[in-house]
Structure 1
Amino acid sequence: MWRLFGDQLRAFLMQRAPNAQVAEDLLQETFVRIHTKLDEVEDQQRIRSWVFQIARNLVIDHYRAKSREAAALADEIAADDQTEESLEEVVIGWLPKMLEQLPAEHREAIKLYEIEGLSQQEIADRLGLSLSGAKSRVQRGRTKLKQVLFDCCSFEHDRRGNLIGYQRNHESDSPGMDD
């Protein structure tokens, strides 16, 4: 069998495998299967097509296995991404404690706008303010919240502006930073 089909199978597998080592492994596996199932061949006239069908099936199995491995790896990475909080999520988690540091009128305006998603007109209506008064409260509240955040920590960003690290400025007054 080796003498009859070895070179032909090697050439066949080299065209279909991703590299020479995989082709050699598939060639060896092809001959193992040939020898274990040779007695099951019913039509000796079709032995050549049977041998190449084994090789074809092994190539298909190889790529299916690689595809499953890639899919499993992608699932594992996705699961890790879902379980690990990003730095932005960590900092957002500090928001309730940081909001407590703001004066009541600014705290309420920020909660309504940033957390509840109300428009500035809706905030004005709810708090009995003019639209410009609501806009002013939201803007001042943001400024004060930003100051609380920067009083707490120093942040490091990449060149695209993504948060890549932070460091506490003062251990004792780091609101919400319960690592």
Structure 2
Amino acid sequence: MISEWQNHKKQLRQYISKRLDDASAIDDILQDVYLKASSKRHQLKSTDSLLNWLYRISHNAIMDYYRQRKTYEALPDNLAAQQENKDSHARQELAQCLVPLIKELPEKYAIALQLSELEGMPQQAIAQQLGLSLSGAKSRVQRSRVKFREHLLRCCDFEVGQEGVNACVPKDARSPHKC
């Protein structure tokens, strides 16, 4: 193995040096390649494919080097709280925009939708507050959502992409529907 290694060592060094930006790591990787090749010699099918096999081991060693070297910035401890605050603020802004549209629905649907979607009230609590059965409250909330969606589609054209709604444009400012 040593004589074969000596025959290919120069080629492997050039191969590794072209792929690394750290000259001091070339010899370390070359040594790793030799150790892996020596310990896995039994996996080599024929000596005709030795050079290709050594190149594959070299390539894998280079990839391992870059994976280990990858640096990561420490994430702030309050990152999750920051994201929650942003999400909460966005929901509040959206809710302020939707309240006038929800109020245009018939009262029984507007109340159910506001309690469910804007106040986040569980449907069991909605049922108790409105004097409905649980299944009645669920149906009311579902019909409210359908009516609200129909109202929005009458008023606006939506552009939808992979992230959700990209744009909302009123269809006609002169429309009899408030949008």
Q: If the TM-score is normalised by the length of the shorter chain, which range does it land in?
A: 0.3 to 0.5
TM-score by length of 1: 0.45
TM-score by length of 2: 0.45
